[in-house]
Structure 1
């Protein structure tokens, strides 16, 4: 127990929708009557889960509900979940920006938080003055801050503007300086929300390296919220997954990421085409086989695409192709197979074609497919499926990226196509 630096017990946070107050005098009187008798707020016993995709039937919503966890000294806990899952609310409670409706938090030592861009900065003060202001908020003496001042300024990369009022800084510059202050003033617990996404690639790499040094070298604790699964995987030692205000998983990083991503991706990895008539040729289904479970694919590993199609036997030169598109719907890879290369779809029946890319190197992010079935002789497009089979590419290797999203594509060797006729169909 002596190694536990933070413990959260039954943390819940309830908000009233629409209005800040109770809204009615009767509600206020009821709350007051329960309070003077030492009883719980009666309105904390009602309310819906925080599911933003549904229409509310209650005036109250649980942003968080019954969250319990412990963090040991030197651990890096990743907190992941979709937008609206309750991640930022939990960090605000841990940072004492707001109080929980129920439950308690016990900590040992000081907490430094980066919840929003430039948290705690005064816009009229210079960057240098804000370093001392933030240090004082964290309970440090002027002498202690002075000893770290130059190191903070150099790490932030804002030397030229350090004596300029912060209101003239860009959002990226404010994040750089805010993180530098929080990371160098030696809090026992460092709480980081998704603010690092504002910084450029160079600073994100530097910031993640600094957090690793804080946790491993200095033995301090980091709570890290991010939608960047590669950063979570490379930095965190444990993961907690939030969904609709509740903790649905707590454990290893790999299992946590799989738990978070499987629901969104597993349903879309196979596309069944139900719109075409059985009397004409068409694509029956498309399936992507990724290197990891839940539609997650590791950078530089093999990727398979399985396509089943029905042919009525009337095609002159069958051709099948697919494109891999990035999140902006820009095609990055185009693979094609012709009947003249491997015979398929010339006679009536169902065919399965498997395309295997041995090593695929795409920038980490979200991808999907366009699939085309055509007659290369008549140039007639028989069937086209757009934006199907979404999957995600991550990179957990230590090799850095030097290019932007969607700007570099590389695959080793030629793509291998295998054709299998599943059944013959007699006229």
Structure 2
């Protein structure tokens, strides 16, 4: 419940309009027309011609709404995840919230200091040393030099950049800049921490440290806004989520609920075919199994009908598969001319990640239908038991018993 927590950030009817093409506001007549409307207290006349932010279609306007009519509240102690496909408006939203760019329409209400880590090097002067940039960021946030000095050692130690702290940051690698930038944002006196997907630059160990630090920040009563395509990280870290689609707020609420909406909308978990014996393929990941449904229609005599599948990991390697012939199904029963074959893959124990399913259908000697990677699904982390390096052990987690004894 939010009734006992104060609102630290409120977004009301926020929209952001961009002009496509060359940088600038357009012609002199456009600028004069905008100015004339503004002095009379009227809306931007060119905002009316903006198209929605749909990258799958070619718009007929030189203006596009990167964000449109966004409304939500963030409460003290929230860790709010922001999910959506590329181009949905996630980074634009964080830039607006961080006051890097102003909204075209709408208002933002803040109740506390905000620190943002949006892009590699954001807020750092390349000619200044790491130490000088720490003090610069503190000053920008209104902190005294004494207050920054009290946290300097902690910031440097967390970043792992102690050896280079008096070196100009223009000589830092992108990973070093991200580590120092996150450390500065997380340790200085802020009420709201905004983190874009820059953490993808860091290694697995540093990502784990960042997750731990963001958890600590939220437990101390501060607020975190976090954008990532890593849904496992979102699930582990965030108690609430918002889902952006084409610049609009699709839904908001509990993390599991919103991630379910997002996966259902954006995963190709079902596919239909107009020709061939296979008419529709569906994959349904469940808690303890994966269910595969194949709708088929056979218009020829198939003496030994055989349907098979292979599950492939995100690197294209085959993980496992099977077919009806191996299972004895084709030998013992006839296939109706039209029907549904349902396969339940029990307890596959796959590591988190994206997977595709390839399907084929034939008579044991000839394939009448073969569609590689025809559907996909994603398994996301539901607990901390699968750590960031799980993929290093392969795609399947085997049953093992570990014993530890002292020497």
TM-score by length of 1: 0.85
Please name the residue that 2:281 is paired with: 286
Select 1:77's aligned residue among 76, 80, 87. 80
- SS at structure 2 position matched to 1:178: helix
Select 2:308's aligned residue among 321, 326, 336. 321
Please name the residue that 1:335 is paired with: 322
State the Cα deviation string for residues 297-323 of structure 1 (Å, max 9, x = none): x6xx311223355565553x6544311
Larger RCO of the pair (alpha carbons < 8 Å, separation 6+): 2
Structure 2 CA distance for aligned equivalents of residues 356 and 136 of structure 1: 59
Structure 2 CA distance for aligned equivalents of residues 11 and 380 of structure 1: 58
Structure 2 CA distance for aligned equivalents of residues 364 and 206 of structure 1: 20
Query: Over the residues paired in the alignment, what is the CA RMSD in angstroms?
Result: 2.5
Count of matched residue positions in the alignment of Structure 1 and Structure 2: 394
Select 2:377's aligned residue among 376, 379, 391. 391
Unaligned runs of 5+ in 2: 400-407
Q: How does 1:109-120 map to 2 (within 5 A)?
A: 109-120=112-123
Please name the residue that 2:253 is paired with: 251
Select 1:91's aligned residue among 94, 97, 111. 94
Task: Verify the 8 A CA contact 1:363 1:406 in the aligned structure 2.
Answer: no
Please name the residue that 1:416 is paired with: none
Distance change >3 Å, CA 337–CA 160, structure 1 → 2:
farther
Task: Verify the 8 A CA contact 1:332 1:406 in the aligned structure 2.
Answer: no
- SS at structure 1 position matched to 2:348: strand
Distance change >3 Å, CA 250–CA 131, structure 1 → 2:
same
Structure 2 CA distance for aligned equivalents of residues 184 and 84 of structure 1: 31
Q: How does 1:29-178 map to 2 (within 5 A)?
A: 29-178=32-181
Structure 2 CA distance for aligned equivalents of residues 36 and 289 of structure 1: 57
Unaligned runs of 5+ in 1: 277-281, 292-297, 414-427
Q: How does 1:400-419 map to 2 (within 5 A)?
A: 400-401=386-387, 403=389, 405=391, 408-410=394-396
Deviation at 1:97, TM superposition (A): 0.8
State the Cα deviation string for residues 355-389 of structure 1 (Å, max 9, x = none): 3222123232221111233444xx43343221112
Please name the residue that 1:349 is paired with: 336
Deviation at 1:77, TM superposition (A): 1.5
State the Cα deviation string for residues 115-157 of structure 1 (Å, max 9, x = none): 1012111222222222222222222222211111121122112
Distance change >3 Å, CA 381–CA 407, structure 1 → 2:
farther
Select 1:370's aligned residue among 338, 343, 358. 358
Structure 1 position 195 matched with structure 2 position 190: no
TM-score by length of 2: 0.88
Tell me which moved more, 93-102 or 306-315.
306-315
Please name the residue that 1:419 is paired with: none
